[in-house]
Structure 1
């Protein structure tokens, strides 16, 4: 957590600024086909579910800031002509925080597990950020700057750097060995979906390791699985790669670290 004039600043406020800038850009300048009703359905559902579950389980009735961020992320990552997929994804995201826990914390990034579920089981109703996003360089630079500030505030710039570097290396390898056009293999890095994933999902302080070394290696592994999925033509590979690595590496690592902390010292 960063400080300003001696006061601690919650990094979630920087993430909120990053996401809300995405929302305003899409609604005011890019003419998104999903309008404010999808946005309010996602954040309203997420906040309501978080407020109720937190109150019932933890007896804590406070403003659900994390749920506001989760709902906002869902409204940006998913696209549908219907409203109920946003509601369902928000319910799944918040519920997963309370269902899957280890060492006192949730093990899955809430948005990642929700997005993976709806994209995998309901592809006829929902997709992930279709070509409504422009690749205008000014928009992308703004998002990169805000995203970097959000990652810095959460002490996760190392994770971002490791993932972007690894993604670039694997993209170049696909270009050389799989004959992918270089603009096709490198192009996703200029897309909004990539930036939302890197600066929002990948840097979640609650579900990423506290060890910089572990964070870097997990980021490299996610980039590697993503590259493999792309070779086989799997869409939404970023989200699936993060989910797979969480199951195969993230959860065992969390279990091991929790066990180490609880074992009595010799």
Structure 2
């Protein structure tokens, strides 16, 4: 059992910029759900968002309490009253609403609940060491949806008309325009993922053209999906998740381009739901890469320690072999990622 000093250790906190980004994400998806059920044509029962939120909140709190006890620290939602609890629950709020909004499981409520638990819980299971601390590398809501698609082939993603069924005319253009403007401001000022968005969009266009030339598919059809609200939402609010994407521009370009390339390969193989599967695959590759760097650096440190021990035994006559500077992740994170979001 941990002693009192250990159990009351200060929990890790997000900085103000990260907290503001989470707050804006949470507000945006909440407003979109309210408008979606009232005007746009969301087809899930109106009670399901509340059930999804309750599931996400409970899962997040329970896992945080367990994690804090294991790590010998105070839970992150303690110490700042109601504000601390609200800020702690931002990621669970975003993930839960996204899960309900983006999938359609008919009347199988338990499948939605299972998906939310998987999405929120993955942050405690699929993690990799980044600069001495364990960080989740799978996009939570995307991974939850991917698991459901693999385990329950009868379920589907919410249909495209789901986001604009009850509107027409100029409003059809207004909805994606608002999403693009809000997403660009959010990603430009707070998450810093515009390089990723640019690489994703450019490479998406290129893969559609290449598929059309090599495999004689319709290039306009391959590009048409970029005009849909679902694609716009994915581009601005899912693939840019700052908690599971790199911060450096070059790494962002590699990540965004990689998702588009994997998507193109999945389309060539006639595998449906390519957006979600491609994101999951690239996140998994990045996670494996971070683990490989960790073991590589650990082996290097052990070797240098052995060389230093040999030098000490020989009275300083043998100098340790230098292996160069510590390798930093090419797809890894800058100092900002030490404050990775749990979204």
Give me the TM-score of the superposition, normalised by structure 2. 0.70
- What does 1:6-25 align with in structure 2 at a 5 Å threshold? 10-25=20-35
Matched, 1:149 2:188: no
1:186 aligns with 223
What residue in structure 1 maps to residue 142 of structure 2? 112
Q: Quick check: 1:18–1:143 contact (8 Å CA) kept in 2?
A: no
Which residue is equivalent to 2:56? 46
Question: Counterparts of 1:78-89 in structure 2 under 5 Å?
Answer: 78-82=103-107, 83-89=109-115
Q: How many residues align?
A: 261
**Equivalent of 2:95 in 66, 70, 87:** 70
In structure 1, stretches of 5+ residues that fail to align are none
SS of equivalent residue, structure 2 residue 47: helix
Q: In the alignment, is residue 243 of structure 1 matched against residue 258 of structure 2?
A: no
Aligned mates of 1:17, 1:190 — CA distance in 2: 24
Match of 1:35 among 42, 45, 52: 45
Q: Any conservation in 2 of the 1:96–1:110 contact (CA below 8 Å)? A: yes
Secondary structure of the structure 2 residue equivalent to 1:123 = coil
In the aligned structure 2, how far is the partner of 1:174 from the partner of 1:8?
39
Q: Distance in 2 between matches of 1:177 and 1:198?
A: 26
RMSD value, Cα: 2.4
Shift, 1:33, TM fit = 1.4
Unaligned runs of 5+ in 2: 1-13, 69-73, 78-84, 166-171, 305-321, 323-343
Residue 229 (structure 1) shift: 0.9
**Would you say 1:202 and 2:232 are equivalent positions?**
no
Query: Larger Rg: 1 or 2?
Result: 2
1:130 aligns with 2:159: yes
| Cα 1:117–1:8 shift into 2, 3 Å | closer
* Structure 2 CA distance for partners of 1:261 and 1:148, relative to 1, 3 Å: farther
SS in 1 for 2:44: coil
